[in-house]
Amino acid sequence: MKSVKVVRVGHRYVRDYRTLTHLCLVSRALGAEAIYLEEVEKELKDTVADVNRTWGGDFAVIEERWKKVFQDAKAEGRAIVHLTMYGTPLQEKIAELRKRDSFLLVVGGPKVPGEVYKLSDYNIAVTSQPHSEIAALAITVHDLQKGEELKKVFGDYKLRIVPSAKGKQVEQKS
């Protein structure tokens, strides 16, 4: 699998908590290693830590300024891919993107500074319509990983779902 980290540019705004939580959980479930946020509230950190403890893995939520995250990503040789409805359609760039092994996927909140467009290696649109950072992230990861992310196994879990066509089956680690 390709290595994916996520950064969300922009400060927290009112009633943002649910979106941020969903962004973290979707990043984790789809195999990202970490998400960087400008501000991390304790409640969010606790929620993700709780999910890791129960369902496994070591997905990290890290408080960091986006510019520093960009600098570190450049130093690590990651492709910096900013998801924005104004960018080049994903389907036109996916073949080129798949040649790279590691990524920093950048999503915005309500307002993204112009510098983000300049400092990113790619500005990529998942349709040229406004929608959501969570949907844009999920589709991009799925396309980059060619579906391999769906098979990720999370180590060190307490609970594991045994996939079932009907009903719920959960295994508890003894």
Of residues 12, 52, 36, the one with CA closest to residue 105:
36
**Rounded Cα distance, 59 and 51, in Å:** 9
Of residues 14, 71, 5, the one with CA closest to residue 35:
5
Q: Between 57 and 108, whose beta carbon lies closer to ligand SAM? A: 108
Q: Between 8 and 28, whose beta carbon lies closer to ligand SAM? A: 8
Stretch that binds ligand SAM, among 28-36, 123-131, 146-154, 157-165 (CB under 6 A): 123-131
**Rounded Cα distance, 149 and 2, in Å:** 9
DSSP 29: H
Residue selected from 131, 146, 169, 171 as contacting ligand SAM according to rule CB under 6 A: 131
Residue selected from 65, 86, 89, 113 as contacting ligand SAM according to rule CB under 6 A: 86
Sites of contact with ligand SAM (CB under 6 A):
83-86, 107-108, 110, 112, 125-127, 129-133, 136
